[in-house]
Amino acid sequence: MAALRHAAEVIAEHPEQNFYAIALHGVSTSESENIAMPLLALNSVEALERDRQSESRDLLVERGEDLDEDDNYEDRSDADLQGQLSVEHVTETEDEFQDSADETDEADEDEDSEDLDAVLSAIEADLEEDDGDSFYSDKWEPSDWHWSAIDLCQDPAAQIWSDAMTDLATREGWESTIKRYYHTLVAVAQSLREELNERTKVDLVAYVADDDHAEKLLELCLTPQQLVEHFPQLEQPVQ
């Protein structure tokens, strides 16, 4: 089986990696002119963490937060304030009073800013904690993985396979053909988990990824124990 061969090669080539998931993806159940062969994807705990760190650094660069600029530059007393009008007839007492008021306002603004930053940081941390491992996070999205688009076979073999599936759909109908197709993909995913689990250090989650029937396919591919461990929100309550 091509999927097993390719997946086994990737795992064997990276013995230091803890692979946690493998998926077949890239095919939609929506009716189209042809049926393409799915793509194979794998990811490891280490690759996920590395990619997330890289995305965080890129986000900091985009925000400009990695620049060595003084955040309070415009608030400094020595900032270049163009167009400032001088007042010649201001007493020393009035100057001192104004300076004191300005310092109080700046202190209040700094405190408010720090409070807001703390609140926003807490909200962001909560969102990351809630969504970081959910089914719709990058952890379980094959197109975001480090090994995201492995062809099961090259042309012309892939094209011959696609043509045969498309002809079958023309003769027997799209719905029955795609149903048979996805039944086969689920069986392949289950077989991959059984064959590769002994070669991985963690319990391998293998599934078919599809936007239209994502959760249902997940339930068909995973073991009950895996569903409870990784996706408890999908567990059906006992009647």
Residue 145, Cβ density class (10 Å: 0-12 exposed, 13-18 middle, ≥19 buried) = buried
Check: pTM over 0.75? Answer yes or no. Answer: no
Angle between helix 214-221 and helix 174-196 axes, rounded to 10 deg = 50
- What are the pLDDT digits (tens) for 93-119? 556 556 666 666 666 666 666 666 666
What pLDDT is stored for residue 82 in this prediction? 42
> Is it the case that residue 234 has pLDDT exceeding 80?
no
- The answer to whether 21 and 42 are in contact (CB under 8 A) is yes
Model confidence at 213, pLDDT cuts 50, 70, 90, reads confident
What pLDDT is stored for residue 92 in this prediction? 53
103 CB-side CA count, 13 A: 6
Residue range 217-226: mean pLDDT, rounded: 94
Residue 135, Cβ density class (10 Å: 0-12 exposed, 13-18 middle, ≥19 buried) = middle
How long a stretch of residues is the chain? 239
One-letter amino acid at 87 equals V
Residue 126, Cβ density class (10 Å: 0-12 exposed, 13-18 middle, ≥19 buried) = exposed
Model confidence at 141, pLDDT cuts 50, 70, 90, reads very high
What pLDDT is stored for residue 12 in this prediction? 95
> Is it the case that residue 152 has pLDDT exceeding 80?
yes
Contact partners, residue 153, CB within 8 Å, separation at least 6: 2, 37, 161
What pLDDT is stored for residue 206 in this prediction? 97
Model confidence at 134, pLDDT cuts 50, 70, 90, reads confident
Q: What tokens were used for 206?
A: 């293998």
Domain boundaries, the chain: 2-55+133-234
- What are the pLDDT digits (tens) for 74-91? 443 443 444 443 444 445
